[in-house]
Amino acid sequence: MKKQFLLMASAAFLLASCGGETKTEDAGQSQAQIDSAVNAQVAEREAEMARKNDSTLKAMEAEKAAADSAAAAAAKKSSGGKKTTKTPKAEPASPAPPPPPPPPSGGLKGRSDQSQSGTEAKPASGGGLRGRSDQSQK
């Protein structure tokens, strides 16, 4: 009982001590002002990154164009200045692969038939368990 009373009294004391304070708008910036400042900084950084990316892409394109023109000049110099176009030769069509072999004939076999595959057919000796296909033949 004492624990519950002490717990309730301490909770009431905490609420009373925190509830007396009031927030003043004059002491700090409002949330709207903070949000607008953050949004402005984000927009500025995004614009800066876009400028860097654009300049990087333009530099890469310039390098590629220079490499392509150097390769074209080297090719023109090695060919003696003659401009020739080569057409690729048509490759002969390769024959289609042969179709797969047909499955072995004979259809489905019963268990008693499978045990005798690859050996000579032995006449059934009497006795023992027989498959249903053997019983229907008598």
The domain segmentation of the chain, as residue ranges, is 42-66
CA atoms within 13 A on the CB side of 23: 5
* Separation between Cα atoms, residue 80 and residue 72, nearest integer Å: 12
Which tens digits make up the pLDDT trace of 3-32?
787 778 888 877 777 765 555 554 467 888
Query: Considering the chain, what percentage of its residues have pLDDT values greater than 70?
Result: 59
Task: Yes or no: say if 117 and 109 are a contact pair by the CB < 8 Å rule.
Answer: yes
User: Whole-model pTM?
Assistant: 0.32
Closest CA to 111 of 132, 90, 81, 93: 132
pLDDT of 83 above 60: no
More confident residue, 80 or 99: 99
